[in-house]
């Protein structure tokens, strides 16, 4: 797309008066933000970036605790109605007033069929404007994690979307509209220029309602796909921070004066998925049936993979092997059930024999090459491990832009894939509802393999409304057992977040892998 510049005269004048000690923060990642529209994809890099421009009613602070944002307070007027009192002093970045009309509009916008953010708020039955500064959300049923779900509702301007014919999200790669390439929010930063796959620049929003806690006036986000080039840019001082650090370069960066490595456990789980919805896999040499529909075949894949070796040798210790689809730090995690079976290629071959595939079979695999820690290298290792039991995999490693458009809604065009997921609510229900529940237009939106289990769906529905924590946790543990028995997915590991920056840069590094610019200070 062509470069564009957003510079209304009033804002340009305001920004020309920089605060004392104002600085520019330059950072790089291996992949770009897919779009400027926050309703187009449930993907961390995109939502993290856009959370600096757009804001929710309720946000998370440095420690991921909930705090007021565009809403100053809230209460329940009944078991299914939440009332939010909106912040009265908020201006959009074009100077117009933020009101309840924008909240109602934004909720209905993400409920459109073209939105990829429907699942987190699918429990909402209706949203009603009480007055300009008050909104009621009515849910279909009581929801014990409703406030946590609000952090994913980034509010857009009703007037701005209507003026630019962007009242519904466009499907990335299929449709186009103004909001895919432009942005106008209430957040601490405003979009200045956008060059897809190269550079995106934001500058401080002088109309922001909150008090800045940093000195960064301008943020430049650079896309540097090559790992050696990205590291070289940090070493040379061309950038202040790199968001994706190759494991093999961590020691070198630590030894370099003036630089530091930031590392913390991430809430994301990396896993393998199988397309069980197709009667026949287009990339397979097995015709007339789908091998993935046999649980013995899926178990064979799990037993063929030496995940401890992947975590140790490929990820250089930056992965924690797991047997659950969510890890420590997510509500519902059960350490007693997180016991990964040891690799057993002999048993895996026997399972394939029992399933009717004594000679194995061929299948294609989709994998990103610029999204997760060592993602393409992990997929390459899995290809070799599966070859030992007779499953011949044709690897299709691609940029995340192509990858997500291919395997996610509405295409679901994949036979076998590697994916990662961070539950936005930090609760197991998010994973169950979004990744493992049967697809019904709301539930199962990122169930890219089309797995369906009635008993699990029933549990998911019950977990979604249970307010007794002990009963809720017991149901989550029952759900874990079903998933571990059926293996619609094969969990691999929770990866570590590893960033690197100059010593003079202070950055908050939350476990959800978001990069809030409002907490970045350049000394």
The predicted-structure confidence for 128-166, as pLDDT tens digits, reads as follows 999 999 999 999 999 999 999 999 899 999 999 999 999
Residue 9 counted as domain residue: no
Closest to 373 in 3D by CA, of 286, 494, 251, 288: 494
Mean pLDDT, range 217-239, rounded to an integer: 97
> Which CATH number does the domain housing residue 209 bear?
3.40.190.10
Does residue 170 share a domain with residue 43? yes
Question: How would residue 21 be classed by pLDDT, with cut points 50, 70 and 90?
Answer: low
The answer to whether 164 and 94 have CB atoms below 8 angstroms apart is: no
266-303 tens-digit pLDDT: 999 999 999 999 999 999 999 999 999 999 999 999 99
Query: What single string gives the DSSP state of each residue in 471-498?
Result: HHHHHHHHHHHHHHHH-SEEEEEEEEEE
Residue 112 counted as domain residue: yes
Residue 59 counted as domain residue: yes
Residue 263 counted as domain residue: no
Statement: residue 27 has pLDDT above 80: yes
390: left (phi over 0), alpha (psi -120 to 50) or beta: left
**How many independent structural domains does the chain possess?**
2
Residue 292 counted as domain residue: yes
Question: For 12-21, 53-62, 262-271, which range has the lowest pLDDT when averaged over its residues?
Answer: 12-21
Mean pLDDT of the chain: 93
Statement: residue 16 has pLDDT above 70: no
Question: Which pLDDT score, from 0 to 100, does residue 84 have?
Answer: 98
Mean pLDDT, range 492-515, rounded to an integer: 95
Report the distance separating Cα 490 and Cα 394, nearest Å.
19
Does residue 320 share a domain with residue 192? no
The answer to whether 104 and 86 have CB atoms below 8 angstroms apart is: no
Q: 466: Cβ–Cβ under 8 A, 6 or more apart, which residues?
A: 144, 472, 475
Report the distance separating Cα 198 and Cα 196, nearest Å.
5
Statement: residue 17 has pLDDT above 50: no
Statement: residue 68 has pLDDT above 80: yes
Mean pLDDT, range 491-514, rounded to an integer: 95
Does residue 88 share a domain with residue 184? yes
Question: Which pLDDT score, from 0 to 100, does residue 122 have?
Answer: 85
Statement: residue 20 has pLDDT above 90: no
**What percentage of residues in the chain have a pLDDT greater than 70?**
96
Report the distance separating Cα 60 and Cα 56, nearest Å.
10
Does residue 211 share a domain with residue 331? no
Statement: residue 2 has pLDDT above 80: no
Question: How would residue 19 be classed by pLDDT, with cut points 50, 70 and 90?
Answer: very low
> Which CATH number does the domain housing residue 284 bear?
3.10.105.10
Query: What single string gives the DSSP state of each residue in 202-248?
Result: EEE-TT-SSPP-S-EEEEEEEE---HHHHHHHHHHTS-SEESS--GG
Domain boundaries, position 32: 21-226+503-522
DSSP code for 187: S
Does residue 397 share a domain with residue 274? yes
Residue 324 counted as domain residue: yes
Residue 377 counted as domain residue: yes
Does residue 158 share a domain with residue 86? yes
Question: How would residue 6 be classed by pLDDT, with cut points 50, 70 and 90?
Answer: very low
Does residue 65 share a domain with residue 38? yes
Question: Which pLDDT score, from 0 to 100, does residue 214 have?
Answer: 95
Does residue 479 share a domain with residue 510? no
pTM of the predicted model as reported, rounded to 2 decimal places: 0.81
Does residue 468 share a domain with residue 419? yes
Does residue 511 share a domain with residue 480? no
Residue 124 counted as domain residue: yes
Does residue 514 share a domain with residue 472? no
Does residue 452 share a domain with residue 421? yes
In sequence order, what are the beta bridge partners of 419? 271
């Amino acid at each position: 797309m062509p470069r564009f510049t957003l510079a209304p005269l009033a804002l340009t004048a305001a920004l020309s008066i920089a605060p004392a000690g104002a600085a520019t923060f330059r950072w790089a990642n291996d992949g770009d933000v897919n779009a400027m529209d926050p309703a187009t994809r449930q993907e961390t890099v995109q939502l993290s970036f856009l959370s600096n421009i757009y804001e929710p009613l309720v946000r998370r602070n440095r420690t991921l605790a909930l705090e007021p944002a565009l809403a100053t307070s809230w209460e329940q007027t009944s078991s299914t109605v939440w009332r939010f009192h909106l912040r009265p002093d908020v201006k959009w970045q074009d100077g117009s007033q933020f009101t309840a009309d924008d909240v109602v509009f934004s909720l209905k916008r993400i409920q459109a069929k073209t939105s990829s953010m429907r699942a987190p708020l699918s429990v909402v039955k209706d949203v009603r404007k009480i007055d300009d500064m008050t909104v009621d959300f009515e849910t279909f049923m009581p929801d014990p994690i409703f406030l946590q779900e609000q952090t994913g509702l980034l509010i857009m301007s009703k007037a701005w979307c209507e003026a630019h014919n962007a009242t519904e999200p466009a499907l990335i790669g299929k449709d186009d509209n103004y909001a895919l390439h432009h942005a106008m929010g209430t957040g601490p930063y405003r979009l200045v220029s956008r060059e897809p796959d190269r550079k995106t620049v934001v500058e401080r929003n002088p109309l922001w309602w909150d008090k800045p806690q940093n000195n960064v006036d301008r943020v430049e986000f650079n896309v540097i796909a090559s790992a050696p080039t990205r590291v070289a840019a940090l070493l040379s001082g061309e950038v202040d921070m790199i968001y994706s650090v190759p494991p093999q370069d961590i020691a070198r960066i630590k030894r370099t004066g003036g630089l530091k490595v930031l590392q913390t456990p991430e809430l994301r789980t990396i896993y393998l998925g199988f397309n069980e919805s197709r009667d026949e896999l287009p990339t397979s040499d097995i015709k007339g049936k789908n091998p993935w529909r046999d649980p013995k075949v899926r178990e064979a894949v799990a037993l063929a993979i030496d995940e401890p070796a992947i975590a140790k040798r490929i990820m250089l210790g930056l992965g924690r092997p797991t047997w659950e689809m969510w890890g420590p730090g997510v509500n519902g995690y059960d350490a007693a059930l997180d016991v990964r079976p040891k690799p057993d290629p002999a048993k895996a071959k026997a399972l394939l024999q029992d399933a009717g595939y004594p000679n194995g079979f061929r299948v294609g695999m989709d994998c990103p090459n610029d999204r997760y820690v060592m993602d393409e290298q992990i997929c390459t290792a899995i290809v070799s491990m599966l070859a030992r039991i007779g499953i011949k995999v044709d690897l299709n490693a691609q940029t995340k832009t192509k990858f997500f458009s291919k395997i996610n809604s509405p295409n679901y065009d994949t036979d076998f894939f590697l994916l990662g997921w961070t539950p936005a609510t930090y609760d197991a229900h998010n994973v169950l509802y979004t990744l493992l529940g049967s697809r019904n237009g709301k539930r199962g939106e990122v169930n890219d393999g089309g797995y369906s289990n009635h008993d699990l769906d029933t549990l998911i529905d019950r977990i979604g409304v249970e307010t007794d924590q002990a009963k809720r946790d017991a149901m989550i543990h029952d759900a874990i057992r079903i998933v571990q028995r059926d293996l619609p997915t094969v969990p691999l590991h929770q990866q570590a977040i590893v960033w690197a920056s100059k010593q003079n840069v202070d950055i908050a590094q939350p476990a959800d892998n978001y990069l809030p610019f409002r907490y970045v200070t350049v000394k």
